[in-house]
Amino acid sequence: MYYVGTCRCCGQGLLGIRICCEDEIGLILCEECEAIWLHPTCPGSPLFPQQPDSACPRCNRPIWQPPAHWATQAEVDRLDWNEYVLSDWENGS
Amino acid sequence: MTGRFPTSGSRGLRATGLTWLVILLLAAWYLVVRPMVVEPAAGPLPSPAPSAESAADSAEPGLGQLTDQGNGLLRSTAGLLYAPGSQEGHRLKHVLRHDNDQPSRPGLHGVFDGDADDLLAVIDEAYLLVKAGGRQVKSRRERQRMVHDVDLRRRIGFVGGREGRRQGNPPATRVRLVLEDDRVITAFPF
Ligand SMILES: [Zn+2]
């Protein structure tokens, strides 16, 4: 999981780059509390997926189920978000 | 109060009758109503909402037990709902990530003391404090959810993760509960 920082909403979650089901749409998703921003600079108040399915606020599909996934290096390149990536954390799956 | 000074004649008799009627009504009220008002509520209370002080001493017996409500829904003693969801597939599994340290994880990672039962009991205890209100709880709304920081005034875990380890794994005395209504999104010590 390529992460860009720590979630200011919950204080502990890592902010990973998530690809929701729409091609080339990238989100910043907290793997702890599911806070979502649409850009790695995390502007403004976060969005939250709708329960019970954690539906993505962009595409309304479950954020934790395929085809949604953590971005690959190629997808980070395509999003042009490399400058925001702090590291790749393996355990995030 | 009428009929306190009886007089002779039919008027006096009527007054005496009224007096006895009032006395009988008062006696009936005392026998029937007063016990219900004075005596503490009895009955099955598996998870009574405690005062802020009493719950801080230790997690109460019976807290944190889960009842299967079907469709993967698990209801805790205090009323929290653990439902399917999260990266791990179920909120219970998500919260149980905080039963162990992840020393290589970047940043902070709160770790509960004890086993899974202890973890669930402390989260329930924190939720009871949220419901009771009081100075141990600081809450804020984030759109459709609430983030509650609950000070349990005793060690309930430690701060782990890479940054926690760098700080010497300081003790954690508070729980952060992220809820949507009674639905657990996440919970961890800090
Ligand atoms: Zn978060």
Decide if A50 is inside a domain: yes
Q: Which helix (H) or strand (E) holds B24?
A: helix B9-32
pLDDT grade for A4, boundaries at 50, 70 and 90: very high
pLDDT digits over B46-104, tens only? 333 333 333 334 667 799 999 999 999 999 999 999 999 999 999 999 999 999 999 99
Mean pLDDT over A1-7 rounds to: 96
Say yes or no for a CB contact (<8 Å) between A10 and B178: yes
Would you give the DSSP letter of residue A71?
P
Q: Is the pLDDT score of A16 beyond 90?
A: yes
Full domain range(s) for residue A33: 2-88
Number of neighbouring beta carbons within 10 Å of residue B132: 15
Q: Which amino acid is at A6?
A: T
- Give me the number of domains chain A comprises: 1
Tens digits of residue pLDDT in A69-81: 999 999 999 999 9
Cβ distance B86 to A10 less than 8 Å, yes or no, reads: no
Tell whether A93 is covered by a domain. no
Q: Does the pLDDT of residue B18 top 60, yes or no? A: yes
Task: Report how far apart, in Å, the C-alpha atoms of B71 and of each of A64, B92, B116 are.
Answer: 18, 14, 22
Section A41-63 average pLDDT: 92
Percent of chain A with pLDDT over 90: 77
Residues A23-52 as b or e (16 or more Cβ within 10 Å = b): eeebbbbbbbbbbbbbebebeeebbbbebb
Is the ipTM here above 0.85? yes
CB of A55 within 8 Å of any CB in chain B? no
State how beta strands B109-112 and A36-37 pair.
unpaired
Q: Does residue A30 sit within a domain? A: yes
**Residues 6 or more apart whose Cβ sits within 8 Å of residue B98:** B109, B110, B111, B112, B119, B157, B187, B188, B189
Nearest CA in chain A to B82: A52
